[in-house]
Chain A
């Protein structure tokens, strides 16, 4: 139902939007870059600076797991020089889409090339493999939520830009190096900030998106939903989470961005826990995008909330 509605919406909104909004005027000398989701958009604009023009394919507020491109998007992509997507597990529609596009001008970048993947189900928390859904088939797509992976993605984007536009390759490398330094600092902040906490387990009322983050900082992660974002929760899973919170005295439950925190609220009502937001940085709301939020700023917020939720000193 919801999915159908969204498809209808996207099919109709995007062509309209493309007619009225900024049509990327094939700027002279600037590399045209189309990115799928927000982290890639953010990385590409940092690395490319004023020498590239970056377009975010997903409209703000749209839940990226259910996004499907329209014919107008195809035109936009075929005009671009570089198309950056997260990985085949996050955007399964990319392979089909590329068949219809003239590949000679367009360089397609799998931003996750070379990152270390985790399997789609976090086995250690009783997450059923068959819950994963066919969309992501096998691997957990949310790679950008581990900072070392994010660094690798920035490297990939810089390398691709350098190949596309060799005269500015040094510029891109320089920007990427500066940004990677910032990512390394953020990583260290996480390591230190989450080093001394009362609990190492965090519970989340959303879909299973934080496996990489949990793995990298040695945290235990339990989520109400599976990896696919639009499933229904099962009552037994909720009961398990409630029992876990009661037995361990956990006082906080996390909820995800963009969607109603209904499931997290149910668990909170049962246990008297406090709600905290943990942003999966898939896509931003219109206000956040206009307010200039970045991957770094959102991850900093996540650190603050994680430190509260895990009761770190």
Chain B
């Protein structure tokens, strides 16, 4: 099958466009998150959405809009992660662990009281990159614009708090505000992008391109650019590769990401050994 033939399918076009937009978003946020020890925030917040499923059950919300029920809860939880790291002096990984297990526990309690399910709500919360609609595409575009504008606007402050929060605070940056902005953007990205492409892909795109870019890049700006390019490249390569090799697409993209990481890592090691 030729490339033009593959591209003639609407679902492939949408997968490429929405996938690339989300890849850039995740890669950019990922660089900040990885450096701040919040790599697993994607997985953590996905667990939290379970609590929102319970709410949807109670209120008998239409499954198509169950994501809307998830947004406030996920924003709140991401804020909780931030508060825990800040006030209780806990590392990010532990804070994420606390919030995600609490999310599941509350969901379980509520769901048990509600007594059974009407549909498999998880299938509505977690999407697939091959099944993106036109409305979803618009959603990805709006999300892309919001997050990138915010990162652009707060860029220097974000970089400052990522490297040395104490220094940033003493030099007059409102670190609390900036921290809040970062986790809220992440929460919004995770919950909406997860509905489009599924949690496995989000989780991978938040971590792998950032980690790979950190292996090579010199300046912060370059790191972000490299991460974004790697992420988009892996999405495009993963989509076409899965087509040619007849494999599931989401998993292929994750494997491509890991392969790129291994490649960059090995080249780095070889160069250092010399």
Chain A contact residues, CB within 8 Å of chain B: 1-2, 5-6, 8-9, 12-13, 16-17, 21, 59-63, 231-239, 242, 258-260, 262-263, 265-266, 269-270, 285-287, 289
Q: Are B130 and A60 in contact (CB under 8 A)?
A: no
CA distance A8 to B104 in the complex (A): 8
CA distance A307 to B9 in the complex (A): 29
Q: Are A260 and B130 in contact (CB under 8 A)?
A: no
Q: If A232-B248, A269-B11 touch, does A285 touch B118 (CB 8 Å cutoff)?
A: yes
Q: Which of A59, A266, A289 contacts B131 (CB 8 A)?
A: A266
Q: Which of A8, A236, A270 contacts B246 (CB 8 A)?
A: A236
Name the residue on B nearest A16 (C-beta). Answer: B112
Q: How many Å from the CB of B230 to the closest CB on chain A?
A: 22
Q: Are B130 and A233 in contact (CB under 8 A)?
A: yes
Q: How many Å from the CB of A246 to the closest CB on chain B?
A: 11
CA distance A166 to B116 in the complex (A): 36
B3 CB-CB contact with A under 8 Å:
no
Q: Which of A1, A59, A232 contacts B117 (CB 8 A)?
A: A59
* Residues in A whose Cβ lies below 8 Å from that of B251: 232
Q: Are B120 and A61 in contact (CB under 8 A)?
A: yes
Q: Are A13 and B128 in contact (CB under 8 A)?
A: no
* Residues in A whose Cβ lies below 8 Å from that of B261: none
Q: Which of A5, A59, A233 contacts B47 (CB 8 A)?
A: A5
Q: Are B116 and A234 in contact (CB under 8 A)?
A: no
Q: If A232-B251, A235-B243 touch, does A60 touch B116 (CB 8 Å cutoff)?
A: yes
Query: How big is the B interface, by class?
Result: 35 or more
Q: Are B115 and A17 in contact (CB under 8 A)?
A: yes
Q: Are B131 and A232 in contact (CB under 8 A)?
A: no
Q: Are A61 and B119 in contact (CB under 8 A)?
A: yes
Closest 8 CB pairs of A and B: A61-B117, A232-B248, A60-B116, A259-B123, A260-B123, A262-B131, A285-B118, A286-B116
Q: Are A263 and B128 in contact (CB under 8 A)?
A: yes
B133 CB-CB contact with A under 8 Å:
yes
Show 28 residue pairs from A and B whose CB-CB distance is below 8 angstroms, ordered by the A residue. Answer: A1-B200, A8-B108, A9-B111, A12-B108, A13-B108, A13-B111, A59-B116, A60-B116, A60-B117, A61-B119, A233-B128, A233-B248, A235-B15, A235-B130, A237-B246, A239-B9, A262-B127, A263-B130, A266-B130, A266-B132, A266-B133, A269-B134, A270-B10, A285-B118, A285-B119, A286-B116, A286-B117, A289-B116
B126 CB-CB contact with A under 8 Å:
yes
CA distance A51 to B165 in the complex (A): 72
CA distance A233 to B1 in the complex (A): 18
* Residues in B whose Cβ lies below 8 Å from that of A238: 9, 11, 130
B23 CB-CB contact with A under 8 Å:
no
Q: How many Å from the CB of B198 to the closest CB on chain A?
A: 8
Q: Are B9 and A270 in contact (CB under 8 A)?
A: yes
Q: Are B242 and A235 in contact (CB under 8 A)?
A: yes
CA distance A234 to B250 in the complex (A): 9
CA distance A21 to B128 in the complex (A): 37
CA distance A278 to B63 in the complex (A): 19
Q: Are B117 and A62 in contact (CB under 8 A)?
A: yes
* Residues in A whose Cβ lies below 8 Å from that of B118: 60-61, 285-287
* Residues in A whose Cβ lies below 8 Å from that of B105: 12
Q: Which of B115, B116, B117, B243 contacts A236 (CB 8 A)?
A: B243
Q: Are A259 and B119 in contact (CB under 8 A)?
A: yes
Q: Are B120 and A259 in contact (CB under 8 A)?
A: yes
Name the residue on B nearest A62 (C-beta). Answer: B117
* Residues in A whose Cβ lies below 8 Å from that of B246: 234, 236-237
* Residues in A whose Cβ lies below 8 Å from that of B130: 232-233, 235, 238, 263, 266
Hey, what's the 0/1 contact readout for B117-151 against A, CB within 8 Å counting as 1? Answer: 11110111011101111100000000000000000
Name the residue on B nearest A264 (C-beta). Answer: B131
Q: Are B50 and A235 in contact (CB under 8 A)?
A: no
* Residues in B whose Cβ lies below 8 Å from that of A16: 108-109, 112
